[in-house]
């Protein structure tokens, strides 16, 4: 069943669990994630990032993921991740996405507020949830992207000025990490939670040790974003099949094991939340 981010987060909070959010790049991993969520009877967020959008386009992704979400047996949100242009926010809203993220984290505070408020004005009348980011979560493969821990007071002001439905905060995670072991600032997360009442979001959670995922929820986070962990298991499973049988060429045949592997990894992460 299709829902927006606000609705999915409300369910997770009521059940004292985290809301799993996975970056997906096509039918195969989206279907695997939905299957995992159904088996665990948990709401889930299907996210499309800039890589997926550049490859397939927002309208194509929307048509596929929205239909899959409607058929799902659990609440499923279709979310545009890390949009930096309002044109992409508008296109996602017009295409039926139920949630969008406007990422002004690399901008000065006032500019971040302005672009976020503009995104809210586009999305809110259509019942589309809006996520934004204050502070800045860096990238393991992009040294130019600024990393900056979230200041609790700044987060409180930002949430009040923008009226967003969810707020991504920087407490030590890094996007696109291939190994676990980031040093998380749990005390900082608790202090942010004390002053920000909307759901908090943690990006770059592939780099978080499994034992710390649940601790993030206990310290105030709700939505937990993961992507690289699924991409890795999909690619590794595909590679193993080709190495075992170089004559394989039918991608639908090969994708079956990849989908099972992704489903298993998604279940593993959902259990941690």
Reduced 3-state DSSP string for 178-241: CCCCCCCCHHHHHHHHHHCCCCEEECCHHHCCHHHHHHHHHCCEEEEEECHHHHHHHHHHHHHH
Q: Is 133 annotated as a binding residue?
A: yes
Rounded to whole angstroms, the Cα distance separating 87 from 130 reads: 15
CA dist list (Å): 183 to 1, 161, 216, 269: 36, 30, 12, 19
Q: Is 55 annotated as a binding residue?
A: no
Q: Is 203 annotated as a binding residue?
A: yes
Q: Is 183 a catalytic site residue?
A: no
Rounded to whole angstroms, the Cα distance separating 251 from 265 reads: 21
Length of the chain: 273
Identify the active-site residue in 29, 81, 151, 212: 81
Which of 142, 147, 136, 20 is closest to 82 using CA atoms?
136
Catalytic residues: 81
Annotated binding site for Zn(2+): 82, 103, 133, 175, 203
């Amino acid at each position: 069943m299709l829902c927006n981010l606000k609705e999915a987060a409300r369910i997770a909070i009521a059940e004292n669990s985290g809301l799993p959010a996975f970056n997906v790049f096509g039918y195969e991993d989206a279907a695997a994630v939905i299957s995992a969520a159904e088996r665990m009877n948990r709401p889930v967020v299907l996210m499309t990032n800039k890589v997926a959008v550049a490859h397939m386009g927002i309208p194509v992704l929307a048509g596929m993921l929205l239909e899959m979400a409607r058929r799902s047996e659990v609440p499923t949100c279709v979310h545009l991740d890390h949009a930096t242009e309002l044109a992409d926010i508008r296109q996602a809203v017009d295409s039926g996405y139920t949630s969008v993220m406007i990422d002004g984290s690399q901008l000065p505070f006032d500019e971040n507020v302005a672009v976020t408020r503009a995104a809210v004005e586009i999305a809110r009348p259509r019942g589309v949830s809006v996520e934004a980011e204050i502070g800045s979560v860096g990238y393991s493969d992009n040294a130019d992207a600024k990393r900056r821990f979230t200041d609790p007071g700044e987060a409180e002001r930002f949430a009040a000025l923008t009226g967003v439905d969810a707020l991504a905060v920087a407490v030590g995670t890094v996007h696109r990490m291939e190994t676990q072991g980031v040093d998380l600032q749990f005390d900082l997360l608790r202090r942010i939670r004390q002053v920000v009442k909307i759901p908090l979001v943690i990006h770059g959670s592939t780099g978080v040790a499994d034992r710390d995922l649940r601790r993030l929820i206990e310290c105030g986070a709700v939505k937990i974003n993961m992507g690289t962990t699924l991409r890795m298991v999909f690619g590794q499973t595909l590679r193993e099949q080709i190495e075992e049988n170089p004559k394989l060429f039918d991608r639908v045949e090969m994708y079956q094991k990849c989908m099972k592997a992704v489903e298993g990894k998604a279940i593993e992460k959902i259990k941690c939340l």
